[in-house]
């Protein structure tokens, strides 16, 4: 589904990603872990097409399409979804308008008929139920006055509504208490199926107790320095990132 080859990217002229190679297949859950500043969020933003990030080298193919060539809205319509680390507020625009517009844009692009108001409301009721959201939120402005937890839940709701092929979750667990973490995780687990894929970007192993990854990658200084199964996350939790960094140093010295 997603193939990343030797991806390098800059932020404000500074190279953050220094040659990422990664392949994600349908049905898989990948976790990217790493210390602060290692480039985890950069990777998620580059995949989504954030204009603040510049791809300088390498390739990204999504379902055979060159993602770098696509505008961010077209990447979204193709099925790449980014759950933001810091969801943005849009004052004066209700969640209903926002969600319905987004849903219909994606549908239109994929040659599907637009959702009727009735369909939309039914879908919304079903998905917000999964996340235990107060139906009142639908008439509130997008993320305005939402608590940190509500914002993250809203991101997951959007994911459930839009049904992307690839969901990039950028530190979705940060700032959540344990109850909120469970709810958000259950949302992701409801979403997951054999035809889609999830890329989790996280600092902590905690989230991986609830969303079990098939692969764990450790990112450091813009490179994936170690990949493994879900047990790698536990090892990291136990030994900290320094353990790998030391390994890395040894490798580099050799």
- Among 35, 54, 55, 97, which residue interacts with other proteins (rule: CB under 8 A)? 97
Residues 100-119 binding other proteins (CB under 8 A) are: 100-102, 104-106, 109, 117
Distance in angstroms (rounded) separating the CA atoms of residues 163 and 235: 33
Least Cβ distance, residue 96 to other proteins (angstroms): 5
Q: How far apart are CA 170 and CA 198, in angstroms?
A: 11
CA pair distance 138, 207, nearest whole angstrom: 27
> Candidates 87-95, 182-190, 194-202, 227-235 — which segment interacts with other proteins by CB under 8 A?
87-95
Local structure of residue 241 (DSSP, 8 states): T
For other proteins (CB under 8 A), the number of binding residues is 38
Q: Which of 6, 56, 112, 139 binds other proteins (CB under 8 A)?
A: 139
In this structure, the strands spanning 29-33 and 14-24 are unpaired
By the 10 Å C-beta count (0-12 exposed, 13-18 middle, 19+ buried), 199 is classed as: buried
How far is it, in rounded angstroms, from Cα 127 to Cα 233? 30
Q: Which of 68, 90, 123, 130 binds other proteins (CB under 8 A)?
A: 90
Using CB under 8 A as the binding rule, the residues of this chain from 18 to 77 that contact other proteins are 48-52, 71-73, 75-77
Binding stretches for other proteins (CB under 8 A): 48-52, 71-73, 75-77, 81-82, 84, 87-94, 96-98, 100-102, 104-106, 109, 117, 138-139, 141, 158, 162
């Amino acid at each position: 589904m997603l193939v990343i080859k030797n991806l390098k990217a800059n932020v404000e002229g500074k190279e953050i990603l220094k040659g990422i190679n990664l392949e994600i297949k349908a049905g898989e859950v990948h976790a990217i872990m790493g210390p602060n500043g290692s480039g985890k969020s950069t990777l998620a933003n580059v995949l989504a097409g954030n204009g603040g990030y510049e791809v300088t080298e390498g390739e990204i193919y999504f379902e055979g399409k060159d993602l770098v060539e696509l505008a961010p809205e077209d990447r979204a319509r193709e099925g790449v979804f980014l759950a933001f680390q810091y969801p943005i507020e849009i004052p004066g625009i209700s969640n209903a308008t926002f969600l319905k517009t987004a849903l219909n844009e994606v549908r239109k692009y994929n040659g599907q008929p637009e959702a009727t108001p009735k369909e939309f409301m039914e879908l919304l009721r079903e998905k917000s139920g999964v996340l235990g959201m107060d139906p009142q939120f639908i008439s509130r402005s997008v993320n305005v006055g939402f608590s940190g937890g509500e914002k993250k839940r809203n991101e997951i709701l959007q994911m459930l509504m839009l049904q992307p092929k690839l969901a990039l979750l950028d530190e979705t667990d940060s700032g959540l208490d344990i109850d909120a973490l469970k709810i958000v995780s259950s949302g992701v687990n409801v979403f997951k199926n054999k035809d889609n894929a999830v890329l989790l970007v996280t600092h902590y192993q905690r989230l991986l107790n609830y969303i079990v990854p098939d692969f764990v990658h450790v990112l450091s200084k813009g490179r994936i320095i170690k990949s493994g199964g879900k047990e790698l996350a536990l090892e990291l939790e136990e030994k900290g990132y320094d353990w790998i960094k030391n390994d890395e140093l040894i490798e580099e010295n050799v």
